[in-house]
Structure 1
């Protein structure tokens, strides 16, 4: 059986926004910290991507035992990004800096989405490739354990990406901001 016929995956993506207010970049930065999505640890962030995997597997018994015959995986992604309607008093530098920051936040969250989608593909492949078990009850337990392991590995990769970003975000943003401000002058 071709794996193209043996798996189904549904991806739903939704973007929500939270408002930030201010006329200066300092005010916008403060608004991000007080209005952004609340994540683990009680901290607010400039953006977030909530990832939810779910699965419904089908099994088939053959001479070699029971195996996963079809995966019906689902990935739900909810990205939350900041939105700012510039007030009349906002100067061109603040507007430029906001555009750079907003774009950088959206790129960061898009990377989280890409990581999740790559894990959905990997889950499909690995669940279908599991070796047969003597019974379907045992195959279901094996598939469930493997799914949990892959979800933990997915979370570890997402956290690793955030840790790596923390180390480079300031220098990357400063370079983008400097270039953007020079182009405004």
Structure 2
């Protein structure tokens, strides 16, 4: 008996313990969308146009991390009841990041601010991927450690509830991280600019 569990989540940045036996498969892909312009205003306009769209947003975002969980669980009847025979989970992470294609005519200040911003976007989306890796491992371990049930249907239902619970916890952490980043990103950019201006004095 087998069942599958899957979830597709997208998280983006809005502008402005497991044992060695647990080995969820993780694949990561990175794609880039082009950014054009030689001023901050043009770069922002290009990003809003070409950046990834999700949650029915009319404007593009500076970056996005789409994570897809999948898993196959098999069950085995025994004398003590139905137990987990095997559980294999996988995670696919797809990162969409900006790439400035032509810096001709851009000022040093514009280049500095963009590079600072770009590093923050990459760091942000990579952390979304790290959160997903943590939770797919936790989920696989929790399912493998499921207690025996009187029958396999009961155990399958229990695994389904466990999966839903862990996927919700994963999504909650992702959204909490986005809320925190929304507050802190502008502060980091302002601090970087202030430090650069002080260095030029």
Q: Fold conserved (TM > 0.5)?
A: yes
Q: Which residue of 2 aligns with 1:34?
A: 49
Unpaired segments of 5 or more residues in structure 1?
none
1:81 aligns with 2:104: no
Matches within 5 A, 1:145-160: 145-160=161-176
SS at match of 1:40: coil
In the alignment of these two chains, the number of paired residues is 182
Q: Partner residue of 2:193?
A: 177
Q: Given that residues 23 and 137 in structure 2 are in contact (C-alpha distance below 8 angstroms), is that contact kept between their aligned partners in structure 1?
A: no
Distance in 1, matches of 2:165 and 2:24, equals: 19
| Deviation >4 Å, runs of 4+ | 180-185
More displaced 10-residue stretch of structure 1: 109-118 or 130-139: 130-139
TM-score (normalised: structure 2): 0.83
The gaps in structure 2 that reach 5 residues or longer are 1-18
- Taking the TM superposition and a 5 Å limit, the aligned residue runs for 1:61-76 are 61-76=77-92
Name the one with the larger helix percent: 1
- Structure 2 counterpart of 1:90, from 106, 112, 117: 106
- Residue 110 of structure 1 pairs with residue 147 of structure 2: no
Over aligned residues, Cα RMSD in angstroms? 1.8
Distance 2:98 2:104 in 1: 19
What is residue 99 of structure 1 aligned with on the other side?
A: 115
